[in-house]
Structures are given as C-alpha cells and as structure tokens.
Amino acid sequence: MEERKDDIILLNLIREGDRLAFRHLFETYFTPLCRFMHLYVHETTVVEELALDIFTYVWENRKTLQIQISLKAYLFQAARNKCLNVLRQKKLTISLNSDEIDVAETDVMSLETEELYQLIQEAILALPDKCQEIFQLSRTENLTNQEIATRLNISIKTVEAQITKALKRIKEFIGNSYLFLW
C-alpha cells in the first residue's frame, strides 16, 4: 500500500510539472526498464530509445495519464508493449524480405506464449518487494508456505495473504487478454 501512496504523490507532482519528481522517476526506472526490454530486444541503442520514448510520453501526457495499478507497473507495461511492437515489426520485415507472407501458426503461438511469459514476469516485477519475494519462493523455488514462513521468520498466514495478493495483482496486470487462464 505504501508503494501505491508514493506513486500517487509522485504522479501528482509530475502532473503539476515538477521536474525534480520526473527526474526521480527517470533515475529510478530508466536502467531497470532497459534491462527488462533487453530481454525482448537485444540491441542496446534501440532499447534506450524505447525507454526514452516512454519517459517522453509520460512527461508530454502527464496531465491526462491514467495509472491503474502502479507507476512501476505502468512503465513496465509500456516497455513490454514497445518491445512487442518492435518484434512484430522485425518479424514482418523478415517475412516480407524472405517472401514468406504467411506466418506459420506455430510461430504465432510461440510469440503469444513468449508474450504471456514476459507479461507474467513483468507482473511479478511490479509486485511490492516483500510480496514478490514470497511469491517467487513459492513458485520458483517450490517452497511450501511453512518453509517460506520459517525462512523469512513470518507467519504462515502472512505467506498465504502475500501469495493471494500476488495472484490477484498478476491477474489484474494481465487483464482480459488472457482471461482464459483464470
């Protein structure tokens, strides 16, 4: 909840034209966004340009910008979308250059699967730190709730609540695009 309050304050300052608040946003998220986008697009200059485009958009549209989950989640969602557009454009260019107008169904499914995976990873990155840690211990390391509680010296109820919170936020983050998963 604290992260959400900080986002609201920061966004309100940016909406008012506070350049220091915008600079803080930029310095906080530019490098993480570039690292994230590099998972999709392996060209550093392209990734940096995409990140700059996102921040330019935020500044230019600061008065009308609508943030649904968190500022961090918004930025990572925008980064993902920018990268997917670049990948789609590359795929189209490659297909047209090689006279392969029809994209194989397996290629489309592969792209959708990769997109879903990246979206889930992005959603996990957008979770508050403690929630993210607990969720990853549960899902990545396959620890039981009891093992997580013992390792982090917290109650099992806290672990359960954090995992429930994580799943809810991930569902919200993914939205209606992959509704069939739930």
| Fold of the 2-126 domain | Rna Polymerase Sigma Factor; Chain: A (1.10.1740)
The C-alpha atoms of residue 123 and residue 16 are separated, in whole angstroms, by 28
CATH class, domain 129-182, is mainly alpha
pLDDT in the model for residue 70: 81
Sign of CA dihedral 131, 12, 19, 53: positive
Q: What is the mean pLDDT of each run of 10 residues along the chain (182 residues)?
A: 72 92 93 89 90 93 83 88 83 47 45 72 86 88 90 94 89 63 44
pLDDT in the model for residue 77: 87
pLDDT in the model for residue 67: 79
pLDDT in the model for residue 173: 78
Domain boundaries, the chain: 2-126, 129-182
Amino acid identity, residue 138?
Answer: S
HEC per residue, the chain: CHHHHHHHHHHHHHHCCCHHHHHHHHHHHHHHHHHHHHCCCCCHHHHHHHHHHHHHHHHHCCCCCCCCCCHHHHHHHHHHHHHHHHHHHHHHHHHHHCCCCCCCHHHHHHHHHHHHHHHHHHHHHCCCHHHHHHHHHHHCCCCCHHHHHHHHCCCHHHHHHHHHHHHHHHHHHHHHHHHHHC
| Euclidean distance between the first and the last CA atom of the chain, given in angstroms as a whole number | 25
pLDDT in the model for residue 149: 94
Question: Under a CB-based contact definition with an 8 Å cutoff, are residues 135 and 127 in contact?
Answer: yes
Domains 2-126 and 129-182 share a fold: no
Question: Under a CB-based contact definition with an 8 Å cutoff, are residues 29 and 6 in contact?
Answer: no
pLDDT in the model for residue 148: 93
pLDDT in the model for residue 58: 93
How far is CA 16 from each of CA 13, 42, 64, 120, rounded to the nearest angstrom? Answer: 5, 36, 11, 33
